Amino acid sequence: MIEQLEELKTRALEELARIQDLDRLEEWRITYLGKRSELNQILRGIGTLAPADRRTVGQIANDVKSVLEGESAARRAQLEQIAREAEIARERVDVTLPPRPIARGQCHPLSLITEEIVAAFRALGYDVVEGPEVEWDKYNFEMLNIPAEHPARDVWDTFYVKTTDGIPQGQVVLRTHTSPMQIRVMQARRPPIRVIVPGRAYRYEATDATHESEFYQIEGLAVDEHITMADLKGTLTAFAHAVFGPERRTRFRVDFFPFVEPGAEMAIDCHACRGSGCRICKNTGWIEIMGAGMVHPKVLEGVGYDPAKYTGFAFGMGPERVAMLKYGIDDIRLFKTNDLRFLQQFR
Ligand code: DAH
């Protein structure tokens, strides 16, 4: 029996040394230390031995049991440690993976050109003001010397706004230009006035490569004593130099707008071909960029200014058109289609 115990111990320890995972170890435990194990049978049989042998065999059997228990516990701890390390290795996060670049926004080309135009006038002492896009007919037309039923109204195809609160229909419009701000500013301030007014305007018009029903304008107004057409020309030439280059030449020709007299259309020599004729200037060598003129005496009178004392000039341009000319963009709709390939060219 003692030999059997010794043999059992050697065999169990040898097998234990070869065990590599916890499931095997459990099987090993059942085989060697379980209820029905050889060792347990020996322990149970001790009672049948002669009393003199019981002590020795019992002692050896218990020693074998505690050696096996101790060794297997140690092995278990070892295997658990290995399993834990394997798990940690599996779950390891690779913090060296380069991050995805953060998508960085940028200004829309119309914001950029507006900023540039506004900055050119700010440098000349102009204030920036903004006004309502839903406007009174009175400001959009009447006080700009465009009475109801006047044929000049045909120039501005108008969206009328349905009104409530007892306001008669036809008195509220989506402003067709930023010029009504001339009236609002002159009513709210007294000369000297120098303002630049960027903002949106609307026209009831079909969309094509050069027209949108919703678009931007930048209005300008200067009113003071002794302002002349020379001031208008000097100011607008300074603007053209700032935005299109200091070598630009300007051309002023007569044009008609009811709220100015005389009225003018301003052109610059083509910055792309320097005046020799190209696609951008449609082979004319000149690019028309805005309407302008001396504020009409009737408009001044309408806001309570004495036209014998005060004079002024006004101008209005479309930043879409300025951007298209400056950057050679051939379709105004590109500004609104949100195509990143287009938008990302302007930084
Ligand atoms: N408001 C005009 C338009 O929308 C542009 C314009 C022309 C503005 C002459 C002015 C001006 O201030 O003096 O067509």
Contact 329, 208 (CB under 8 A): no
Q: Exposed, middle or buried: residue 345 (CB in 10 Å: 0-12, 13-18, 19+)?
A: exposed
Which of 239, 259, 311 to probe ligand 1 with, by most ligand atoms within 8 A of CB? Answer: 259
CA distances to 26, 145, 228, 299 from 221, in Å: 94, 16, 13, 12
Q: Is 203 a catalytic residue?
A: yes
Q: Is 136 a catalytic residue?
A: no
Task: Specify the pLDDT at position 330.
Answer: 87
For ligand 1, which residues put their CB under 6 angstroms from it? Answer: 177, 179, 219, 257, 260, 291-293, 314-316
Rounded distance from Cα 89 to ligand 1 centre (Å) = 72
One digit per residue, the tens of pLDDT, for the chain of length 347 reads: 888 889 999 999 999 999 998 899 999 999 999 999 888 888 888 888 888 888 888 899 899 999 999 999 999 999 999 999 999 999 988 888 888 888 888 899 999 999 999 999 999 999 999 999 999 999 999 999 999 888 877 778 899 999 888 888 889 999 999 999 999 999 999 999 999 999 999 999 888 888 889 999 999 999 999 999 999 999 999 999 999 999 999 999 999 999 999 999 999 998 888 888 888 788 999 989 999 999 999 999 999 999 999 999 999 999 999 999 888 898 999 999 999 999 999 87
Give me 7's structure tokens: 């043999």
Query: Where exactly are the structural domains of the chain?
Result: 2-91, 109-343
Give, to the nearest 10 degrees, the angle between helix 22-33 and helix 38-45: 20
CATH topology of domain 109-343: BirA Bifunctional Protein; domain 2 (3.30.930)
pTM of the predicted protein model: 0.72
